[in-house]
Chain A
Amino acid sequence: MLLYTTRRILLLIPTLIGITLVSFLILQLVPGDPARTIAGLEADEETVQSIRTQLGLDKPIFVQYGRFIRNTLTGNFGRSIRTQNEVVAEVWPRFINTLELALASTIIAVFLGIPLGTLAATHHNSPLDYCTMAAVLLGISTPTFWSGLIMILIFSVCLGWFPPGGAHGFLSLVLPSLTLAAPSAAIIARMTRSSMLEVLKQDFIKTARAKGQTESRVIFEHALQNALIPTVTIVGLQFGYLMGGAILVETIFTLPGLGRLLVDSILTRDYPVVQAGVIFFAGSFVLTNLGVDLLYNFLDPRISYEKR
Chain B
Amino acid sequence: MKKIADFILKIGEMDRRWIFIIIALVVLLPLFFPIGLPIRPTDSTQTAYDAMDDLEHGSKVLMSFEYGPSTKPEIHPMTYAVLRHLFKNKHKVYITCLWPDGQFMAEEAIEEIAEQEFNLTYGKDYVLLGFRPGNEAVVKGIVSNIRKLYSTDARGTLTDKIPMMEGINKLADFDFIFTASAGYPGTVEWVQYGADPTGVPMSTGVTSIQVNEVMPYVQSGQVKGILAGMPGAAEYEKLVGIPGIGTSGMDAQSVAHVVIVLFIIFGNVAFFIERQRQKKY
Q: Is this pair of chains taken from one and the same complex?
A: no
Partner-B contacts on A (CB < 8 A) = none
Partner-A contacts on B (CB < 8 A) = none
